[in-house]
Amino acid sequence: MAIRTEPFVINMGPQHPSTHGVFRMRLTLDGEVIIDLEPIFGYLHRGIEKIVEGRPYAQIVPITDRLDYLASMTNNLAYVIAVEKLAGIKVPERAEYLRVIMSELQRLASHLIGVGSFLNDCGAYFTPFMYMYREREKIVDLFEMVCGQRLTYNYMRIGGVSHDVPDEFMAALDKFVKTMPAFIDEYDQLLAGNEILLARTKGVGILPKELAINSSASGPVLRGSGVKWDIRKADPYSVYNHLNFDIPTGTVGDCYDRYRVRMEEMRQSVRIIRQAMEQMPAGAVRADVPRLIRPPVGEAYGHIESPKGELGFYVVSDNSIAPYRLHIRPPTLINLTTLRDMIVGWKVADAVIIFGSIDICLGEVDR
């Protein structure tokens, strides 16, 4: 006689230690196996796209900090690039190099948290997480030196950056860049070849190449699936075409590949920062831009490779002091669209890992 069973619906989130914020997954389980998943988001919706319509262009920069609050620098950068494109503003070269340094430091900081919390989701009880936080703390100290803030930096300005770096910054950055590769090796020594980690992540949550492209995934999620696509190379912004770096890619598109891509990107970021430090010229850090700008009627789309993928700002101007419309293309929301395809068929414990390997930030998903 067969025992009658029925599926078991479980709400993972919005209050759950592994949903990285207020994300909610409605899982339908058969025992431990997930047979259906419905992602529900919007718990952190603040209507940012509407708020900005009533604000002058310059005052929107601090609002972009609140999108992906683990990568505020790159949010600033994407926004100012879009506005500069719209208003046709030329940025001084020193400011461009500072922007590159800051966004690569931000990539390091964001990946440290991303990989750390991913390994924590795998059950490595906080040890890798705390190790990675140690270096993130140093990056945040560097940012504090530059702009006085530790989370919402508000450093980029339309036409440059808010101010030049203080004298002690370059020495501190130099020290950080010299020590960082050894720390990245240390993280790899901690867990990279661990048999349990391999068993938990290899082949788990595969995102096939075609699906990744069709769903317009970007960032480490796309590159983990073996697609060599990086905005820094594909549509170079700032001074990335003067810098040498590689784009690491995965082969299978499983959680392990995404984790490895992030680790390798951290090494590349250190490499980029080192080159940018050598090439950085002296000079002004901010173009002569008025407080209130009135860009000509038109529209512009500025996009960058943020730590989590392609972050784009689409700005429409009606020649007033505030944008007529501003649309944000959040990388993590679009990466999340394939969540169901990745998770169904795996177990509850895998759902957490697969979700963690996408590395989302709810501030950006819900806006």
Partner 1 sequence: MTGYSAAALPPDWPGGFWVHFGVFTVILLVFILVMAMALIYFERRAQGRFQVRIGPNRTGPFGVLQPIADAIKALTKESITPAKGDKLVYWLAPVVAFVPVCMVFAVIPFQDGALLADLNIGILYVVAVSSVTTVGIFMAGWSSNNKYAVLGAMRSIAMAVSYEIPLGLAILGIVLVAGSLSLNEIVTSQNIPYFLLQPLGLLVFFLAASAEINRAPFDLLEAESEIVAGFHIEYSGMKFALFYLVEYCEALAISAIITTLYLSGWKGPWLPPVLWFLIKVVLVFFVFVWVRSTIPRLRVDQIMGFAWKGLLPLALINLFITGIQVVVWPGGLPWVLIFVNWAIMAVLILLWSRLFRLGGGRVEV
Tell me the site size for partner 1, rule CB under 8 A.
42
Which of 322, 314, 313 has its CA nearest to residue 75?
313
Minimum CB–partner distance for residue 273 and partner 1 (Å): 24
Cβ atoms of 53 and 37 closer than 8 Å: no
Considering the complex, state which of residue 80 and residue 342 has its C-beta at the smaller distance from partner 1: 342
Beta bridge partners of 11: 26
Listed ranges 67-75, 216-224, 331-339, 340-348: which one lies at the site for partner 1 (CB under 8 A): 340-348
- Angle at 69 (CA atoms; ends 271, 233), nearest 5 degrees: 35
Nearer to partner 1, 170 or 198 (CB): 198
Rg of the chain on CA atoms, in Å: 21
Q: Which is nearer to partner 1, 145 or 348 (CB)?
A: 348
Task: Work out whether 255 is an interface residue with partner 1 (CB under 8 A).
Answer: no
Q: How far is the CB of 9 from partner 1 (least distance, A)?
A: 8
Question: Looking at 93, 104, 265, 350, which residue binds partner 1 (CB under 8 A)?
Answer: 350
The answer to the question of residue 42 lying near partner 1 (CB under 8 A) is no
Work out how close the CB of 197 gets to partner 1 at its nearest, in angstroms, rounded to a whole number: 5
Q: Is 221 in the site for partner 1 (CB under 8 A)?
A: no
Distance between CA atoms of 81 and 231, rounded to whole angstroms?
A: 13
Give yes or no for residue 324 binding partner 1 (CB under 8 A).
Answer: no
Task: Output the smallest distance, CB 194 to partner 1, in A.
Answer: 7
- By the 8 A CB rule, do 249 and 224 touch? yes
Select 44 or 349, whichever has its Cβ closest to partner 1.
349
What is the footprint of partner 1 within residues 161-220 (CB under 8 A)? 190-191, 194-200, 202-204
Q: CB of residue 130 vs partner 1: minimum separation in angstroms?
A: 4
**3-class secondary-structure state, position 306:** strand
Q: Which of residues 13-32 bind partner 1 (CB under 8 A)?
A: 16-18, 30, 32
The answer to whether 59 contacts partner 1 (rule: CB under 8 A) is: no
CA distance linking residue 358 with residue 204, whole number of Å: 13
DSSP string, 12-44: E-SS-TTSTTT-EEEEEEETTEEEEEEEE--TT
**Amino acid present at 79:** Y
Beta pairing, strands 309-317 & 325-329:
antiparallel
CB atoms closer than 10 angstroms to residue 37: 20
The residues that touch partner 1, with contacts defined as CB under 8 A, are 8, 10, 16-18, 30, 32-35, 119-127, 130-131, 134, 190-191, 194-200, 202-204, 344-350, 352
